[in-house]
């Protein structure tokens, strides 16, 4: 939650925040959600076609994801990347670069 909370004001007014995965508890500040009139949704797992729809929406500019990508490492550093992704509370999304 520490990585999500400061980014709530980046969500478009009236936007939706989808929490994927499992959280022991949800602890987010109310004021940014109130000011941006956000909707929160909780998703247990992906359904068929979800990944393609998400990819297409990002490519079409319907969803802005750059502010969510907090870390990027070369694919050769995958073990370190996974450690950061799972243990660094500042890591929202990790990208592995294959270049």
Band of residue 1 on the pLDDT scale cut at 50, 70, 90: confident
Residues of the chain with pLDDT > 70, as a percent, come to 100
4: confidence class by pLDDT, cuts 50, 70, 90? confident
- pLDDT band at 36, cuts 50/70/90? very high
Give a three-class secondary structure readout of the chain.
CCCCHHHHHHCCCCCEEEEECCCCCCCCCHHHHHHHCCEEEEECCCCCCHHHHHHHHHHCCCCCCHHHEEEEEEHHHHHHHHHHHHHCCCCCEEEEECC
Local confidence band at 28 (pLDDT 50, 70, 90 cut-offs): very high
């Amino acid at each position: 939650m520490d990585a999500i909370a400061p980014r709530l004001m980046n969500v478009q007014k009236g936007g939706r925040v989808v929490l994927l995965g499992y959280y022991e508890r949800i602890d987010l500040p109310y004021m940014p959600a109130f000011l941006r009139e956000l909707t929160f949704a909780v998703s247990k797992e992906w359904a068929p076609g979800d990944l393609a729809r998400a990819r297409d929406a990002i490519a079409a500019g319907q969803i802005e994801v750059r502010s969510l990508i907090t870390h990027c490492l070369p694919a050769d550093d995958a073990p370190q990347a996974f450690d950061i992704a799972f243990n660094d509370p500042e890591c929202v999304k990790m990208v592995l670069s294959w270049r």
